[in-house]
Amino acid sequence: MHAVRFHEYGPAEVLRYEEVPDPKPGPGEALLRVRACAVNHVDIDMRNGTSRLPITLPHTLGFEIAGDVVAVGEGVTEVAPGDRVSPLFQIHCRECEWCERGEHMHCERIRMLGAQSAGGYAEYVVSPSWALLTYSAYPLADCTPSILIRSQCMCSPRSHHSHSRQ
């Protein structure tokens, strides 16, 4: 598959379109075909080297993603191939003391697609299946990816709260 990555910090010119290994979903994960990925100021800060988020180079940015499920790992019941989805941008562990109390924003092991793992500036991305918001009731032609991303932004705090107890 192809991805847009950078191997050094700097301006937009450091971005490279290159071939990378296909991601594979593990147990509890889903493989998504990326249909849209927003450019967020956090992406720019990470690329410039001014973000406080730790990343490893080379790196694939992008955490505001909309797409569809193409494969699922073992034990996945929340989504199925063909579902239109958008991953939560902050993925909490659901196991630490904070998550157990429903205060996932303080999670000791919180991570983000596009920060601690490869993001949506790629053809495919892997996400925990429980962290996917589904939009399958809406035909993609009638519900553009930008609307999916905007609705995730509006729904995320509530979705995070409801998912934090699962």
Ordered per-residue pLDDT tens for the chain, 166 residues: 999 999 999 999 999 999 999 999 999 999 999 999 999 999 999 999 999 888 999 999 999 999 999 999 999 999 999 999 999 988 989 999 999 998 988 998 988 899 999 999 999 999 999 999 988 665 555 555 544 444 444 444 444 344 433 4
The closest of 32, 92, 64, 51 to 154, measured between CA atoms, is 64
CATH number for the domain that contains residue 85? 3.90.180.10
- Residues of the domain holding 11: 2-164
Q: What is the pLDDT of residue 158?
A: 40
134 DSSP β-pair partners? 85
Q: What is the pLDDT of residue 160?
A: 39
Q: What is the pLDDT of residue 28?
A: 97
Q: What is the pLDDT of residue 104?
A: 85
* Residues 5, 8: Cα–Cα separation, whole Å: 9
Q: What is the pLDDT of residue 142?
A: 53
The conformation of residue 140, written as its DSSP 8-state character, comes to T
Q: What is the pLDDT of residue 89?
A: 83
**Backbone angle region of 107, left / alpha / beta, with phi > 0 → left and psi within -120 to 50 → alpha:** beta
Tally of domains within the chain: 1
pTM: 0.81
Q: What is the pLDDT of residue 138?
A: 59
